[in-house]
Amino acid sequence: MLQTADYAEAIFRANRVRTDDEIRARVTARLKRQEILNRVDPPRYWVILDEAAIRRIVGSPETMLVQLRHLTHMAARHNIDIQVLPFEEGAHTATTGSFVIMDFPDSRDASLAYMDTPTSSLYLEEDHDLAEFDSMFGGAQGAALSPDKSLKFIRTIIDSLEK
């Protein structure tokens, strides 16, 4: 949801499983999904990024620099919180991989957890699964830097890439 086009393309190309047409389609779809964050009444989006995700050069140093700047711009929005989970925290509750928890304003719409895999997507709606993901998110959130400290941390990485 917070990836630039070049960064997303580099991620898909690193996978080496998809054709150029599939990569273009996936990048387009990913960017289209981001439009939800630009609505008049946008949803709240809270992301916890592992430090490796902002330190590892994806694509090229320039691609990474643009991606990190994009994160700082997105973090300035009222509906977006970004936290960085630093290496020094060691293993954490969400070490099994990335996931998304979606809660909806209408109580008739069930919450769900979503995960991308190299070949498909997985959606979970069972209460016991959601409780596990809520617990993992809460643990990672508690171990991560605050949004303000995370923004400063990202800016230090930007500074190091600009040198």
Taking the C-alpha atoms of residue 63 and residue 16, their distance in angstroms, rounded to an integer, is 18
**Predicted pLDDT of residue 116:** 82
**Predicted pLDDT of residue 106:** 83
Up-side HSE of residue 154: CA atoms within 13 Å toward CB? 29
**Predicted pLDDT of residue 128:** 93
Contact 97, 105 (CB under 8 A): no
Query: 75-95 burial, b for 16+ CB within 10 Å, e for fewer?
Result: beeeebbbbbbeeeeeebbbe
Q: Which residues are registered as beta bridge partners of 114?
A: 100, 123
**Predicted pLDDT of residue 63:** 97
Average the pLDDT over 145-149 and give the result: 97
pTM of the model: 0.87
Q: What is the pLDDT of residues 13-50, one digit of tens each?
A: 887 778 899 999 989 999 999 999 999 999 999 999 99
Whole-number mean pLDDT of the chain?
91
**Predicted pLDDT of residue 10:** 95
Q: What is the pLDDT of residues 123-139, one digit of tens each?
A: 999 999 999 999 999 99
Per the structure block, which two tokens stand in for 159?
A: 């500074």
pLDDT at 119 over 80: no
